Amino acid sequence: MQRSIFSRYLSITMAIIFLSFVMLGGAMMVFFGQYWRGEKKELLTQNASSISAMASQFLTEKSPGKYELRTDALRGFLSSFSTSIDADIFITDLEGRVLLGSFANSKLEKLEKAPSYYVDQAAAGMYEGRSSLDGLYRDSYYIIGVPVSAPEEGPCVGVVFAATSPATINAMMIEALKIFLLAAVAALAVTFCVVGAFVYRLVKPLRLMSLAARSFGAGDFSLRVPVTREDELGQLAVSFNNMADSLSNSEGMRRSFIANVSHELKTPMTTIAGFIDGILDSTIPKEEQDKYLHIVSDEVKRLSRLVKSMLDLSRIDSGEMKIHPSYFDITHTLVATLLTFEQGIDEKQIEIQGLEEAAPIQVYGDQDLLHQVVYNLVENAVKFTNQGGAIKVLTADSIDRTTVMIENTGPGIASEDLPMVFDRFYKGDKSRSRDKNGMGLGLYLVRTILQLHGGNIQVTSVQGQFCRFEFYLPKPQEAPKLKESQQGGSPRLKEPRAKKPKKTESERSKEDE
């Protein structure tokens, strides 16, 4: 079963917090145990030392090296100490016989004799450890033993033992553990709610993106992810929505492109088929066949241009479009292209301005591709110039570039359409409604071809007045000239490289195929 990011993140976070509480609890219990043992050791040692000092005061020397303990006088003190610290306190001689004892902790009625092993260690200085005193206690007790010395720094004559059961500390540690567990459960519950709400809010945009992505896969590009935050997820949501807008626009352009291509292919093919059939079955008289054959020729050229645009688009997408640069006159290309549209210019009575000032300008680039640039721009200018309007052309040569400007009067382009006129498949039908035959590829190819040459193009328009396209081509870097010799000879220039012969249009078409 696939686990969601929400459950994974929440479970991992809670596991880390739980382990942190376990480690904290373990460390706390260890620290508490050590602290209690230290406190108990100090308490038992102090009380055992006090009883030892008091016992020394109640010793009576019966003979040299023989002492007797006055137990009646010491019994009350011993019982009080034992009860106050909840511990067993008893005094033994060096042979382990219990002389006096109070067993407030273990509740033993009487203890006869302590093992000599523990007595010897205590008499030697001090005993500390956990033991049952060889079975005298049912459980292991924490025991402190200190020596009892005769008065006036006399020899050791006995031992005082103070013992307490670990059950006391165990009970205290259990109570502390209960308090800790209660606090940990409450903290975990609060943490679960807070982290759960945080993680849910964190993954909610991701779920919406997943839902939108599935919708995109089904062809519905209308869903968008709400942007409710300014962090990385908010930026991701903005980028996702931008991607959705781009996909929606691309899908709309794709559908429009398919519809346009279908129409572009169907219309001339229908015209060609109809006129050819009319000629073959003699429906069209012989005296009118030339007229209709010219129409068929125009439609074939139109189909050729369509196929060439689609091939160029394919080569651009695959990165296979290469340029074959050479020097040629861009002004001549501009004039020749205008002559190609002479019939349309005459029909609309368009005035051509600027040719009288145009001088020959050599540019370095692919002549066929740049001819296509000029052709597309002039075709658009003729198509959208108003009846009796004007087309103005201008060429300018500077140090590092050559600039060409083509401007036409007419409806112009709406300001909201200007940023998109160079996008593929885009057609500004709202302001250029007479463009019934275009596919939205011409200006995209124009810009791409110019960028391949290192140049670019820009558009300026005032709706209802004019539209101006202006592009530039950079000049190739020339080899530096040598200085003139001191004898006054002419400067020597680096010989230009031999130019490759330019391929014909038919050869280029065969390569495209």
- Residue among 469, 437, 438 at smallest CA distance from 456: 469
Residue 356 lies in a domain: yes
- Residue 457's pLDDT band, with cuts at 50, 70 and 90, is very high
Q: Are 129 and 143 in contact (CB under 8 A)?
A: yes
User: Using CA atoms, how far apart are residues 182 and 176, in angstroms rounded to an integer?
Assistant: 10
Q: How many CB atoms lie within 10 A of CB 424?
A: 19
Mean pLDDT, rounded, of the chain: 80
User: Using CA atoms, how far apart are residues 88 and 105, in angstroms rounded to an integer?
Assistant: 6
Among the residue ranges 136-140, 270-274, 504-508, the one predicted with the least confidence is 504-508
Q: Are residues 129 and 275 in the same domain?
A: no
Residue 301 lies in a domain: yes
- Residue among 410, 428, 408, 409 at smallest CA distance from 418: 428
Residue 211 lies in a domain: no
Mean pLDDT value of segment 8-24: 83
User: Using CA atoms, how far apart are residues 60 and 157, in angstroms rounded to an integer?
Assistant: 11
**CA R_g for the chain:** 53
The better pLDDT of the pair 336, 303 is held by 336
Question: b or e along 53-79 (b: 16 or more beta carbons within 10 Å of the residue's beta carbon)?
Answer: ebbbebbeeeeeeebebeeeebeebbb
Residue 196 lies in a domain: no
Q: Write the CATH number for 285.
A: 1.10.287.130
Mean pLDDT value of segment 62-79: 81
Q: Are residues 416 and 452 in the same domain?
A: yes
Q: Write the CATH number for 107.
A: 3.30.450.20
Residue 508 lies in a domain: no
What is residue 503's DSSP assignment? P
pLDDT at residue 170 greater than cutoff 70: yes
- Residue 322's pLDDT band, with cuts at 50, 70 and 90, is confident
Domain boundary residue among 170, 190, 219? 170
- Residue 428's pLDDT band, with cuts at 50, 70 and 90, is low
Residue 226 lies in a domain: no
Residue 121 lies in a domain: yes
Mean pLDDT value of segment 449-471: 92
Q: Are residues 15 and 142 in the same domain?
A: yes
Q: What's the domain range around 471?
A: 322-477
Q: Are residues 330 and 450 in the same domain?
A: yes
The residues facing 163 across adjacent strands are 88, 143
Those residues with Cβ within 8 angstroms of residue 269's Cβ, 6 or more apart along the chain or in another chain: 299, 303
pLDDT tens string 357-414: 888 999 999 998 898 899 989 989 999 999 999 999 999 999 999 999 999 999 988 8
Q: Are residues 279 and 344 in the same domain?
A: no
Q: Are residues 330 and 425 in the same domain?
A: yes
Q: Is the Cα dihedral 325, 457, 264, 281 positive or negative?
A: negative
What confidence score (pLDDT) does residue 283 get?
83
- Residue 308's pLDDT band, with cuts at 50, 70 and 90, is confident
Q: Are residues 289 and 347 in the same domain?
A: no
Residue 139 lies in a domain: yes
Q: Are residues 334 and 412 in the same domain?
A: yes
Helix axes 286-318, 442-452, angle to 10 degrees: 50
pLDDT at residue 482 greater than cutoff 60: no
Q: Write the CATH number for 397.
A: 3.30.565.10
Q: Are 240 and 209 in contact (CB under 8 A)?
A: yes
Q: Are residues 379 and 455 in the same domain?
A: yes
Domain boundary residue among 154, 170, 186? 170
pLDDT tens string 214-257: 887 777 777 777 777 777 777 787 887 888 888 777 777 777 66
Strand-strand pairing, 401-409 and 390-397: antiparallel
The better pLDDT of the pair 504, 194 is held by 194
How many helices (H) and strands (E) in the chain? Answer: 11, 14
The number of domains in the chain is 3
